[in-house]
Amino acid sequence: MCSPLLPVRALAASWLFSVALPAAPLPVEDLVDPFIGSAGRGSCMPGPCLPHASIYPSPETLDATPGGYAGGQPIVGFAQLHTQGTGGNPSYGNFLITPRLGLAIAEVEHASPKADEVAKAYGYSVRLTKSDIRVEVVPGRHSALYRFTFPASDEAHINLDVARKIRGEIALDEGSVKIDPTTGIITGGGHFSKNWNPAPYDLFFAARLDTTPDAVGTWVGQNALPGVAQASARRPAPVKVAAGDRTPRVPSGESLGTYARFKTKAGQKVMLKIAISFTSVEQAQRWLDAEIPAWDFDGLRVAAAATWHRALSAVTLEGASDEEARKFTTGVWHSMVQPRDRTGDLPGFDPKAPLWDDHYTLWDTWKSLFPLMAILEPEAMRDNIRSFIERHRVAPDGYVAEAFIQGREFKAGQGGNEADNVIADAYAKKIPGIDWEQAYAVLKHHAEHARTANYREHGWMASDEKTDYSHRIRSGSATVDFAYNDFNAAQMAKGLGHTADYERYLARSKNWLNVWDDSLESDGYRGFVRGRALDGKFSATPATQGFNTDFYEAICWEFSFNVPHDLPGLVEKMGGRETFIRRLAHAFREGYIDFGNEPAFMSPWLFARVGRPYLASYWADQLRGEYAGFNLPGDDDDGAMSSLYVFLTAGFFPVAGQDVYFLHGPRVPKIEFHLSNGQTFTVTAENAGGKNLYVQRAALNGHALDEPSIHHADMVAGGELKFVMGPQPSAWGTRGEFDAATAAAQVAPAPRPPYKGNPSR
């Protein structure tokens, strides 16, 4: 059965989340499957949210991914803040709400198996089988509404943990909680740390119960305080250690929370609404009153569904299978979760200036997430650029860091200055509503101050150079990425009439050549990028290595193809176009490229750029195969993997920072992009799907395309991009150099070895 998209439906007020699929085709918001990336690989959350909203309520499990949830684990409660598909040290998990029978403070004591779990974009429902309690939640922009259905009990409890974060770690440095037993109002918060961004931050909440409790209390540590309506906690001072002992000793801190007890009848419902703020309890209270003024759970759910219907209807499918529609629409949904619009709620900034938060990190998102945003949500991209401008104004050193989390800059750059690439992408695509001179000032400041000193003075980031840029910086990857930053600065300078800057930065964009070692050989190929020291000597790293030594999350083979701004120069360095094609195909075949990780996101489309689009089609399909079942190729990384899937399915991929898209052909018959300017750009594909991977012909608005590329201006003008697909490679886009036998050998199925750069991947 196919899944055309229908208008949003009104749902009955007595609605409860159901596991049964209706016979009628689903509206677009119901095509979203939040278990993709959460029940499987991806470190995502199954909870509901609104597009780019500040809050993200979601269940948490006892043993959890950095996102807070693992599919087969018991649920410990429902926290209000989570990140989208991040790895490493978990962030957030604040203000855990847990219903249970009896008072149990430790998470392991009240962790519950689950049943009847149903996740939607706009709502979540589950039954906690340990106490037979049903939990439902629907989201606002800064708030959430919970509905708990209890069994008959004299010991029905709702606990709110103030101090903990994901996996139960204590994150509170200093804070308090207060509950009013008469009004059911609960407030609290404080000073927190231990996020992925190590900078401390303030976070507050305001909550309210709809049912007067029979008793209330608080707890500090593991000590329950019945009848005590207010409590506070502070992390103890660091432990003193003997001289010379450098072992870090950080006190764990004390748990802090409050609880309300009820006597419930079988099936009795108790509701709790909560709002969060990075500014104050008062601000949280204002949002709570404005966003959830009543206890209309079903009305809020319908409003959330309608919000997602409008957002997701920016792109629609026709003729896709149910499975493809589910995966594609979920990819779009994940792409609209982060970054988060926290305008007016981040202290220290102009409350009227757009402020977008939770970038984990721009290194992950500039190649796929922001280019998709430029198509589907240009207003969001505009406001992100304006947020960069505001951050540049406020930051003491003017630096717009690659990670901006909990309202704090974090110099966590894994490559170059990726804010430059996002700004340049918006500029190349003429996103309206941006002061381009102010935006260019960010790029110029980075070019003059944020690149490392040796890069600015001598042309490469040295492996033994002292810098505060980031502990993740590596000589090879930083030099190549800084060179692309310089290219983007040059293009903006040229467009804005800054001729001297243009010439200077364009010359600097050739700096990638300074880490190109002509002497390095591997597998019969000569010349690769690798790290270089201050004295000019290259590292001794073999071409098959370099992961997190010469490059961040890549090896020499892999990163040597990562020069999107100077492909002619790269082809020349590799021995000409035919050698380049053989070498790139060899890299994929041998497992030298982890094309499911960000450094290689653009690599499959290099084939299209050098006249072999059928190889781009083949490897794009191989990459799509990594999205099996509920799995993503790895952590979703702020929607990077999900947006990549959208482009893989749509048949084209961007070169972020430039206005060009390279074509590999769609995997579904028809996709319509309903643009915010009122135009519709339609992509159709005759014979799409199955083994029909390869473009036979393509036309834009009735005019045959000989080159496998279009431009962003073609898209925003509206019209139709039409493909004819087939099961065998064709001569299309090959510049008259097609040989059927060679092509058949190049795409012959063969076992692909695991990625050789890092055994842990």
pLDDT of residue 236: 82
CA 362 to chain CA centroid, Å, is 9
The Cα–Cα gap between 652 and 177 comes to 51
- 124 and 118 Cβ atoms separated by less than 8 Å: yes
- 93 and 164 Cβ atoms separated by less than 8 Å: yes
- 571 and 609 Cβ atoms separated by less than 8 Å: no
Instruction: For residue 515, give the nearest of 564, 579, 461 by alpha carbon.
Output: 461
pLDDT of residue 595: 86
Instruction: For residue 401, give the nearest of 386, 420, 425, 428 by alpha carbon.
Output: 420
pLDDT of residue 469: 87
Q: Spell out, as residue ranges, where the chain has pLDDT lower than 50.
A: 1-19, 21-22, 246-250
The Cα–Cα gap between 48 and 59 comes to 10
Domains of the chain: 28-238+248-312 (2.70.98.10)
pLDDT of residue 249: 43
- 442 and 427 Cβ atoms separated by less than 8 Å: no
- 245 and 278 Cβ atoms separated by less than 8 Å: no
Residues 6 or more apart whose CB falls under 8 angstroms from that of 329 comprise 28, 31, 32, 312, 317
- 194 and 252 Cβ atoms separated by less than 8 Å: no
In sequence order, what DSSP letters do the residues of 70-134 get, joined into one string?
A: -TTSPEEEEES---SS--SS-----SEEEEEES---SHHHH-B-EEEEEE-SS-EEEEETTTTEE
> 55 vs 275, 287, 306, CA distance in Å?
8, 11, 18
Residues 6 or more apart whose CB falls under 8 angstroms from that of 183 comprise 208
pLDDT of residue 569: 98
> 31 vs 2, 427, 552, 640, CA distance in Å?
12, 33, 36, 20
> 104 vs 20, 155, 233, CA distance in Å?
34, 11, 19
Residues 6 or more apart whose CB falls under 8 angstroms from that of 225 comprise 217, 218, 219, 231
The Cα–Cα gap between 5 and 319 comes to 10
H or E, element range at 327 = helix 322-334
Please provide residue 639's backbone torsions phi and psi, each rounded to the nearest 5 degrees.
Answer: 90, 5
pLDDT of residue 252: 62
- 328 and 320 Cβ atoms separated by less than 8 Å: yes
Mutual angle of helices 499-508 and 475-496, in 10-degree steps: 160
The Cα–Cα gap between 158 and 569 comes to 64
pTM to 2 decimal places:
0.94
